């Protein structure tokens, strides 16, 4: 195996029925009904290609990577590096040296906070985020700010869940050292104008991290066109395995950052007197990495390219519009998150019915949705609600499934009259 496995994959015409056949879990019945899986923002299901790749890796390709002089280890190393090249292509990064494998988005953000952040923040400095961030893009910065005696600033959102861009720009000050914003909000569905955000921040010389956890499986991302400094995502939302995530970082920034964790594989040489660190990206990958996870993620990227973002984007936009309308005539239902630019997320509350009860009742019809604060408690506080019910869409969902959701919500209404 060499880097030949990075070869471009040919796109096939978008056909949801044939896509569904690629996902074995969707054939299951739940509580006597066909599974209607609408919790994709939490994690997506895995296509057969990913499952086969994982099984094949462990059955025929498993060895530890780097420094093995035997063929199996060379193959495993090539497969791991090949996965990195696929992610580089997915994000259109300039170099594979800019792609660091982590456990997930959370670890990627913590890595930046504890290396770049610790390097650049002094007492009185600021980190700027938005009100719609996931806890994973809040808490690492709170920890950092506590360590450095710095301040976390928060740009507000309006009633529709749209970032107030003028307020955001006003908060970019001489003490701002880093901006960290979500690309696509997991609890509201809002798509942030990340390109504009990067331009604004860069005018002040401030680097930008984008949390792309929810964006990467719905739309093409080009980190060079965006001009962002860091971009993070997690594999399991991109139809890949759990436990594998990605940090993209601009090479010149990564070069200057200190290592995150110490250990094997991240060194060039070790003596008790002095250790020198490995080249990028290995400097940030201490210990045996999740090799199978990376290889599985590479297969997921192949699968995405085969289906193509044009087809995925069109289908999901249709489903979002259709679903919005289908649930609109449920009595007393109110959408939370109605930004002009949004994708994939239908977050809602129902008068007289708590989200947790909604979730339990629709589950009886085989409909899987998520209920709660979605790790965005500040968003719940902003809208003065304890929780929402959230249906989230992926490429394999259908209009029929959104009809099933609407029917199940009408049953909720029967049990809990408005």
Partner 1 sequence: MSDLRDLYQEVILDHNKHPHNFGELNDADRHADGFNPLCGDKLVVYVNFDGEIITDVSFVGSGCAISKASASLMTDAVKGKTVTEARGLFEDFLSLVTDDKAQLNHATLGKLAVFEGVRDYPTRVKCASLAWHTLRAAVEDCHEVVTTE
Does 332 bind partner 1 (CB under 8 A)? Our answer is: no
Does 27 bind partner 1 (CB under 8 A)? Our answer is: no
CB of 355 to partner 1, least distance (A): 7
Q: Which of 89, 308, 380, 410 binds partner 1 (CB under 8 A)?
A: 380
Does 383 bind partner 1 (CB under 8 A)? Our answer is: no
Does 38 bind partner 1 (CB under 8 A)? Our answer is: no
Question: Residue 240 or residue 355: which is nearer to partner 1 going by CB?
Answer: 355
Q: How far is CA 391 from the centre of its chain?
A: 17
Window contacting partner 1 (CB under 8 A); options: 2-10, 73-81, 112-120, 350-358: 350-358
Window contacting partner 1 (CB under 8 A); options: 183-191, 204-212, 367-375, 402-410: 367-375
Window contacting partner 1 (CB under 8 A); options: 148-156, 198-206, 212-220, 346-354: 346-354
Counting residues that bind partner 1 (by CB under 8 A) gives 19
CA distance 328 to 129: 32
Residues 386-405 that bind partner 1 (CB under 8 A): 386-387
Does 254 bind partner 1 (CB under 8 A)? Our answer is: no
**Angle at CA of residue 247, ends 140 and 193, nearest 5°:** 80
Does 373 bind partner 1 (CB under 8 A)? Our answer is: yes
Residue 176 φ then ψ, to 5°: -70, 125
Task: Give the containing element (helix H, strand E) for 333.
Answer: strand 333-335
Does 360 bind partner 1 (CB under 8 A)? Our answer is: yes
Residue 399 φ then ψ, to 5°: -60, -35
Cis peptide before 281 (omega within 30 of 0): yes
Does 216 bind partner 1 (CB under 8 A)? Our answer is: no
Does 361 bind partner 1 (CB under 8 A)? Our answer is: yes
For residue 229, give both structure tokens.
Answer: 């400094």
Window contacting partner 1 (CB under 8 A); options: 4-12, 100-108, 329-337, 360-368: 360-368
Is there a contact between 249 and 222 (Cβ–Cβ < 8 Å)? no
Does 415 bind partner 1 (CB under 8 A)? Our answer is: yes
CB of 354 to partner 1, least distance (A): 4
Does 331 bind partner 1 (CB under 8 A)? Our answer is: no
What is the DSSP pairing of strand 345-350 with strand 208-211? Answer: unpaired
Q: Which of 371, 376, 392, 397 binds partner 1 (CB under 8 A)?
A: 371
Does 378 bind partner 1 (CB under 8 A)? Our answer is: no
CB of 136 to partner 1, least distance (A): 16
Please give the C-alpha separations between residue 366 and each of 342, 343, 349, 382, in angstroms, as whole numbers. 26, 24, 20, 31
Question: How would you list the strands of the sheet with 370-372, edge to edge?
Answer: 333-335, 345-350, 388-392, 370-372
CA distance 190 to 160: 9
Question: Residue 5 or residue 43: which is nearer to partner 1 going by CB?
Answer: 43
Q: Which of 356, 399, 400, 418 binds partner 1 (CB under 8 A)?
A: 356
Question: Residue 300 or residue 353: which is nearer to partner 1 going by CB?
Answer: 353
Core vs surface per residue 243-259: b (16+ CB within 10 A) or e: bbbbbbbbeebbeebeb
Question: Residue 263 or residue 417: which is nearer to partner 1 going by CB?
Answer: 417
CA distance 53 to 216: 21
Is there a contact between 224 and 93 (Cβ–Cβ < 8 Å)? yes
CA distance 364 to 27: 17
Question: Residue 246 or residue 406: which is nearer to partner 1 going by CB?
Answer: 406
CB of 346 to partner 1, least distance (A): 19
Provide the phi-psi class of 2: left if phi over 0, else alpha when psi is between -120 and 50, else beta.
beta
Q: Is 148 a catalytic residue?
A: no
CB of 360 to partner 1, least distance (A): 6
Residue 160 φ then ψ, to 5°: -90, -5
CA distance 358 to 373: 14
Does 411 bind partner 1 (CB under 8 A)? Our answer is: yes
Task: Give the containing element (helix H, strand E) for 390.
Answer: strand 388-392
Question: Residue 16 or residue 42: which is nearer to partner 1 going by CB?
Answer: 42
Residue 336 φ then ψ, to 5°: -110, 115
Does 349 bind partner 1 (CB under 8 A)? Our answer is: no
- What residues are labeled active site? 375
Give the footprint of partner 1 on this chain (CB under 8 A): 352-357, 360-361, 364, 371-373, 377, 380, 386-387, 411, 415-416
């Amino acid at each position: 195996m060499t880097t030949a496995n990075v070869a471009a994959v040919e796109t096939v015409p978008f056909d949801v029925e044939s896509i569904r056949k690629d996902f074995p879990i969707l054939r299951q019945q739940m509580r006597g009904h066909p599974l209607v899986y609408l919790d994709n923002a939490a994690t997506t299901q895995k296509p057969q290609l990913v499952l086969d790749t994982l099984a094949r890796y462990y059955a025929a390709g498993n060895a530890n990577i780097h420094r093995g002089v035997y063929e199996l280890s060379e193959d495993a190393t090539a497969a791991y590096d090949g996965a990195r090249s696929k992610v580089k292509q997915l994000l259109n990064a300039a170099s594979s040296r800019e792609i660091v494998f982590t456990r997930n988005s959370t670890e990627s953000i913590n890595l930046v906070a504890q290396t770049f952040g610790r390097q650049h923040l002094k007492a009185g400095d600021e980190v700027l985020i938005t009100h719609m961030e996931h806890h994973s893009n809040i808490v690492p910065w709170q920890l950092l700010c506590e360590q450095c005696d710095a301040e976390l600033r928060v740009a507000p959102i309006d009633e529709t869940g749209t970032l107030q861009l003028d307020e955001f720009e006003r908060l970019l000050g001489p003490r701002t050292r880093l901006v960290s914003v979500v690309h696509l909000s997991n609890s509201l569905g809002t798509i942030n104008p990340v390109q504009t955000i990067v331009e604004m921040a860069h005018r002040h010389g401030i680097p930008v991290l984008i949390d792309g956890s929810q964006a990467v499986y719905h739309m093409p991302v080009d980190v060079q066109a965006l001009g962002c400094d860091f971009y993070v995502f997690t594999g399991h939302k991109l139809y890949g395995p759990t436990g594998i995530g990605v940090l993209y970082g601009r090479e010149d920034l990564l070069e200057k950052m200190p290592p995150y964790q110490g250990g094997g594989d991240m060194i060039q040489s070790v003596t008790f007197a002095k250790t020198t660190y490995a080249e990028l990206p290995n400097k940030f990958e201490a210990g045996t990495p999740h090799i199978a996870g990376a290889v599985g993620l590479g297969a997921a990227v192949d699968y995405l390219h085969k289906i193509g973002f044009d087809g995925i984007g069109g289908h999901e936009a249709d489903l979002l519009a259709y679903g919005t309308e289908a649930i609109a005539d449920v009595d007393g239902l109110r959408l939370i998150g109605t930004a002009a630019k949004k994708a994939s997320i239908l977050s809602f509350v129902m008068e007289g019915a708590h989200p947790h009860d909604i979730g339990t009742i629709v589950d009886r019809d085989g409909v899987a949705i998520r209920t709660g604060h979605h790790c965005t408690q500040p968003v719940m506080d902003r809208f003065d609600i304890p929780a929402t019910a959230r249906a989230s869409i992926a490429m394999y969902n259908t209009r029929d499934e959104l009809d099933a959701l609407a029917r199940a919500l009408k049953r909720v209404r029967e049990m809990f009259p408005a």
